[in-house]
């Protein structure tokens, strides 16, 4: 089964790097996948899932959570400020904090709701125009704001440019996290999660290697 293959490869890479077993957590990225594939992975016992759109997640996970206990849901895609309340209601972890306005909205609404998801700041390490994430040069300021707002920032997240060696971006992200005293690193996807673990990833986000290719048709 693809899930157990990926789990094995993660364990092997942890061992190769001398890391604690289980220190690189697997987020199964279920976006766009047919429901039966998601249910199959839940039935295998996996509980940590990632979605990149609030609306799509809202359409399937409330139901699935009533059928399967202990689901931990991660938002790994960009978050529009006007969907903050819905995201806080749905997700245990948000990986895409990337601007002051969003940080302020999360702080305010989390206060009203009485709980806040765990958070990662997304960094646009490749400084790509089309990509979400705070620019590396603006990270210090955003971290300072998040600290002032007392947001539970656990670490940093990145999606390297598709045409560059991801290890360089993973290493850069690890260096920025260390500088700010963060332990969490959300990095690595189907094609590069082992390289991410080698650079210290605490969460890898793997979709197609577990579920099969996504059919956007």
Ligand X SMILES: *Cc1c(COP(=O)(O)O)cnc(C)c1O
Chain positions contacting ligand X, by CB under 6 A: 29, 31, 52, 76-77, 159, 189-190, 205-209
Q: With respect to ligand X, which residue has the nearer C-beta, 79 or 142?
A: 79
Q: With respect to ligand X, which residue has the nearer C-beta, 31 or 37?
A: 31
Residue 172 tokens, joined: 């850069």
CA gap 192, 170 in Å, rounded: 10
Residue 7 tokens, joined: 């789990």
Q: With respect to ligand X, which residue has the nearer C-beta, 119 or 159?
A: 159
CA gap 44, 61 in Å, rounded: 17
The secondary structure of residue 138, as a DSSP letter, is G
- Cβ 142 to ligand X shortest distance, Å: 19
DSSP E strand boundaries for 30-97: 48-51, 72-75, 93-97
- Cβ 158 to ligand X shortest distance, Å: 9
Q: With respect to ligand X, which residue has the nearer C-beta, 133 or 142?
A: 133
> Could you tell me how far CA 125 lies from the centroid of its own chain?
15
CA pseudo-torsion sign 197, 202, 208, 211: positive
Q: Which residue is nearest to ligand X (CB)?
A: 207
Q: Within 10 A of 168 (CB to CB), how many other CB atoms are there?
A: 15
Q: With respect to ligand X, which residue has the nearer C-beta, 20 or 162?
A: 162
- Cβ 208 to ligand X shortest distance, Å: 3
- Cβ 108 to ligand X shortest distance, Å: 25
Residue 121 tokens, joined: 């700041």
Three-state secondary structure of 173-215: HHHHHHHHCCCEEECCCCCCHHHHHHCCCCEEEECHHHHCCCC
Q: With respect to ligand X, which residue has the nearer C-beta, 133 or 139?
A: 133
CA gap 43, 29 in Å, rounded: 16
- Cβ 69 to ligand X shortest distance, Å: 25
- Cβ 209 to ligand X shortest distance, Å: 6
């Amino acid at each position: 089964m693809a899930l157990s293959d990926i789990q094995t490869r993660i364990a092997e890479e942890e061992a190769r790097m001398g890391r604690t077993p289980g220190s690189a957590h697997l987020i199964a990225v279920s976006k766009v996948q047919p429901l039966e594939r998601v249910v199959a992975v839940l039935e295998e016992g996996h509980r940590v899932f990632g979605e990149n759109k609030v609306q799509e997640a809202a359409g399937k996970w409330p139901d699935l959570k009533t059928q399967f206990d202990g689901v931990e849901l991660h938002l790994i895609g960009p978050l529009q400020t006007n969907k903050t309340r819905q995201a806080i209601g749905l997700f245990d972890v948000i990986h895409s904090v990337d601007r002051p306005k969003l940080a302020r909205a999360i702080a305010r609404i989390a206060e009203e709701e009485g709980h806040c998801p765990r958070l990662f700041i997304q960094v646009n390490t490749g400084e790509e125009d089309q990509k979400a994430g705070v620019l590396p040069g603006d990270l210090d300021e955003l971290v300072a704001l998040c600290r002032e707002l007392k947001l539970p920032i656990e670490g940093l997240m990145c999606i390297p440019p598709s045409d560059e060696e991801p290890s360089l971006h993973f290493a850069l992200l690890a260096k920025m996290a260390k500088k700010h005293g963060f332990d969490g690193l959300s990095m690595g996807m189907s094609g590069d999660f082992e390289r991410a673990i080698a650079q210290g990833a605490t969460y890898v986000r793997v979709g197609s290697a577990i579920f099969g290719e996504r059919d956007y048709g």
